[in-house]
Amino acid sequence: MSDAYANETRLVGSESTVYDRALDGVVSLTVVGFALALLALVEVVDLAASGAELGEAFLAVLAVTVGGVAVVGAFSWANVVPVTSDRVRGVAAGAVVSVVVLTAVAYSGPSLASMLGWLLVFEAAVIVAAGVASRVGVVETSPDASAGLLAGVAFAVLGLAVGAAVGGSALGFGSPLWIVVALSCGLALGALTVAPREDVGSTLPAGLVVGALGISIASALLNVGWTWSPQAISGGFTGGVVVPLFVLTGSLLSAWAAAKAREGFGAQGRQYGTFLVINLNALLMLVVMVAIVAFVAMKGVGYAFHGFSVGAATAFVATLPVLVVALGRARTPVGAEEWHDGARQLFRVLPLSAVGAVAALFASVAVTGTELAYAFTYTVQVNREPKVLDTAVSVTPDLTVGTLVLLFASVALFAGFVRRYGSLENVGERGSRVARVRSALPVVVGALGALSVAFVVAGPTPFGVPLAGTLGYGLVSAGALGAVALAVLPATTLLATDVETGLAERAVAVAPVLVVGTFGSLSVFAVVAVLQATAGVVPTVAGYAVVPLAAVVAAVAALGFAGIVAGARRDADASIRTRLLGEELTLSLSATAGFLAVVALHVAFTGVPFELGALSVSDAGSLSWPMTLQAYIPLGAEPGGILPAIVGTVWLVVGATTFAVPLGVGAAVFLTEYAEQGRFTNLVEVATNALWSTPSIVFGLFGAAFLIPRLGGDESLLAGMLVLGFMLLPLVLITSREAIKSVPDEYRDASAALGVDKWTTVRSVVIPAAMPGVITGVILGVGRIAGETAPLILVLGSTLNATEAADVLGGFRFVSTAPFVENPALLGASASLPTQVWAVIAAGVSGSPSMGWASAFVLLLVVLTFYAVGITARTIFRRKLDYE
């Protein structure tokens, strides 16, 4: 919006009158009343509370309101978030004033229920007064001739309900008289809305209804203890629900009427009134969503993290990739607008400081050796007995890093850095020595690779000659030494060359050495690690395994080189040299990550922990998380976890995806690229859409009656995978078709114009262009089926307390009879996260609610992660498409 508009609203707004202020106040009061009624409905505040107890509750509300208004006000004052709308300012001021008044009233004695009732009565009075003031011409408004039929019908329905309630409770539902009362009430209210001019038609009926609701509460006709259970129905109504519902309805109504009056009725007034209701509705939806997620998290997080402990070194390594991502974000340049600049810079740097603080915390735990623990107790049901669990979430000063954690972190970092690395081609002086090393490398790597293949085929002692123990041992040691020499080469070259020239210049000059050294040493290390595994030897020096030791030395060298380059880059003036040094920095950092990955690989292959001083890398890391890393322990002292369910869900998702994605994508390609568009493709589309909306339980029925008898006659993992695959299939097909269709025809034409045949066009132009859409669709679809329960109950069974995870990979056996391959794990029942939650429900009293909440929490975490990844991916891809 341009500044001209901002000034205009401010000028118009400066003429606000008592009428405007009163109505702004009512709008804020309704919002406060709405929030209080919601809190009362979910029993956060007690309707019967009064005096000091209620006053304290109001003080909390006051603090929240004043805090919120003050923050926005401060930002507005600093011109960071300029609030130019006079309505917003009025509502904010009204909110503060009304909450202050309400707090004062609360201390004087009335109960919350009667306060809310009087609140409604007050709102009704102001609204009616506003309507009358407008009608007699005290204030200048621009009402229409009538409030409109839409409002009339709405009020008629409302009147019908009020009339039915009043008539029914006064006359009884037995006689037909209550229908007469209800009808006349509805008609009267509808007529009162439609007949008079708009200012009266939209305030008077609203005021009447709100006032009636308010008086029924304020006069203690309806209070907390009030109940009404009609004979006809099996339930009844209590004050605890009816009073908040009345206040909610009344607040919405008076908000609408007050907002309308505030803008002087007419088209503008209706707009403000409706938008207020629409905004409130949207806010309510967001609140519900956040509340559901937060509620499950709150209930489940305690048990889900019981006994969670992690070594400081492991935690530190795990945060490294996040740290690098945050660093990348902090480095992105901000825009050049003056006052936005500072704020943006702040938001760019905030994540870095947060992650950095966490990383520093872990490092401090490792250095000082004091454990960091958050202890809490948790009551769980074990064999129907409540049992208090003393537990803690802790970061231990353990310096052992798990192989998997190290491998994941280092590979992620390596991939990230290599992706950012561009090229150092034709930079620096290429000596003849470098060229020689470069040409020799492929030969060495190829020879070592061939040797390891030979060891795999012929075993470590081919023809009885113990080659592995001799030749293998020697070559592994020599290879490791050579690799470490290559890795150290850049740093030594840099330090050894002519000291006369500047550091930055020399660093650029060694670029060829760096490239050859890094990639050469990484490839030699990789092949040596493989050779070591195939030969089955582990050369050691003074108790240390040679390969990881060499890798650590190489990592230190690469990190050192990176440090030197970073220093040189700092001093260099902004020029092409800075860019080149940046490339070198990226390359040496990726080398560091790569060397660490070699250490992790070594430990993973040999299974022997590698220790260096206090630090160690080991298969059994220092992460303990019973909930997700353990199965149920029958009669155990510790309640175990839900590992089998997690493993089961992973396998279900993997199986369904491998079944559905090739089929769906293939069919989408055929239908869009090969088939003639017409009746057949339309039919397929309608059929797949229908299949997509088919209730999941129907798929379960099909799986249970058709698949299970043909897959061994018992509930099985394979049947679950197939059923979920059937459900995923239509979604993959639909989204892939959409994605392929949205590839512009120009792409295909351009390819065809080059004389490329159809399939090659599809393979190298259409599918790559459609890939983002396909991947996003698959991720979202997987998120949906991962939480699917109904079909799994029928085909997978529901196991509470599974003690063993399905071992699918290790379950394959070759047999000599019919199918020739069998896998008992695939054909047996398994636990899964959704059925685990269902099992808790089905178990009734013997189910442990805390276990259920924790499982639901983990399930929600898994599903929402899929959604978050899918939605983020889609946003990024769309933005990319928009920029192209």
- Residue 85 to residue 214: CA distance in whole angstroms: 31
What CA–CA distances, in Å, run from 180 to 160, 173, 227?
10, 11, 25
Interactions with another protein, residue window 864-883 (CB under 8 A): 864, 866-868, 871, 875
Window contacting another protein (CB under 8 A); options: 192-200, 308-316, 550-558, 751-759? 751-759
Of the residues 27, 158, 255, 863, which one makes contact with another protein according to CB under 8 A: 863
| Residue 100 buriedness (CB in 10 A; 0-12 / 13-18 / 19+) | middle
- Residue 25 to residue 22: CA distance in whole angstroms: 5
| Residue placing its CB nearer to another protein in the complex, 60 or 157 | 157
Window contacting another protein (CB under 8 A); options: 435-443, 508-516, 634-642, 817-825? 817-825
Window contacting another protein (CB under 8 A); options: 6-14, 57-65, 376-384, 855-863? 855-863
Q: How far is the CB of 86 from another protein (least distance, A)?
A: 18
Q: How far is the CB of 787 from another protein (least distance, A)?
A: 3
Contact call for residue 664 and another protein (CB under 8 A): yes
Classify 49 in phi/psi space as left (phi over 0), alpha (psi -120 to 50) or beta.
Answer: beta
Q: Which residues pair with 311 in a beta bridge?
A: 396
CA-based torsion, 804, 808, 814, 820: positive or negative: positive
Instruction: Report the Cα–Cα distance between both ends of the chain, in Å, rounded.
Output: 27
| Residue placing its CB nearer to another protein in the complex, 594 or 781 | 781
Helix (H) and strand (E) counts in the chain: 32, 13
As given in the structure block, the two tokens for residue 718 are: 């394979």
| Residue placing its CB nearer to another protein in the complex, 406 or 732 | 732
Window contacting another protein (CB under 8 A); options: 69-77, 345-353, 453-461, 690-698? 690-698
Window contacting another protein (CB under 8 A); options: 290-298, 497-505, 528-536, 589-597? 290-298
Of the residues 63, 367, 841, 876, which one makes contact with another protein according to CB under 8 A: 841
- Per the listing, tokens 């810079």 go with 345
Longest alpha-carbon distance in the chain: 114
Contact call for residue 145 and another protein (CB under 8 A): no
- CB proximity list for 283: less than 8 A, separation 6 or greater: none
Three-state DSSP state, 713: coil
As given in the structure block, the two tokens for residue 662 are: 């090739």
Contact call for residue 731 and another protein (CB under 8 A): no
Of the residues 282, 298, 346, 612, which one makes contact with another protein according to CB under 8 A: 282
Contact call for residue 845 and another protein (CB under 8 A): no
Whether 788 contacts 724, CB under 8 Å: yes
Of the residues 7, 169, 175, 279, which one makes contact with another protein according to CB under 8 A: 279
Whether 790 contacts 678, CB under 8 Å: no
| Residue placing its CB nearer to another protein in the complex, 59 or 296 | 296
Q: How far is the CB of 177 from another protein (least distance, A)?
A: 20
User: What angle do helix axes 18-41 and 51-77 make, rounded to 10 degrees?
Assistant: 120
Of the residues 441, 729, 796, 805, which one makes contact with another protein according to CB under 8 A: 729
Contact call for residue 704 and another protein (CB under 8 A): yes
Contact call for residue 699 and another protein (CB under 8 A): yes
Q: How far is the CB of 842 from another protein (least distance, A)?
A: 8
Q: How far is the CB of 304 from another protein (least distance, A)?
A: 14
Contact call for residue 287 and another protein (CB under 8 A): no
Go through the chain and tell me how many residues it has. 884
User: What angle do helix axes 576-606 and 403-420 make, rounded to 10 degrees?
Assistant: 150
Q: How far is the CB of 793 from another protein (least distance, A)?
A: 6
Of the residues 700, 773, 777, 828, which one makes contact with another protein according to CB under 8 A: 700
- Residue 332 to residue 816: CA distance in whole angstroms: 62
Contact call for residue 174 and another protein (CB under 8 A): no
Interactions with another protein, residue window 188-247 (CB under 8 A): 227, 229, 232-238, 240-241
Which x/- pattern over 669-688 shows residues binding another protein (rule: CB under 8 A)? xxx-xxx--------x-xxx
Of the residues 819, 845, 882, 883, which one makes contact with another protein according to CB under 8 A: 819
Of the residues 333, 383, 755, 820, which one makes contact with another protein according to CB under 8 A: 820
| Residue placing its CB nearer to another protein in the complex, 258 or 596 | 258
- Residue 476 to residue 460: CA distance in whole angstroms: 14
Whether 261 contacts 23, CB under 8 Å: yes
- Residue 299 to residue 48: CA distance in whole angstroms: 27
Total number of residues that touch another protein (CB under 8 A):
108
Contact call for residue 157 and another protein (CB under 8 A): no
As given in the structure block, the two tokens for residue 338 are: 């003056």
Helix residue ranges, H only, 397-431: 403-420
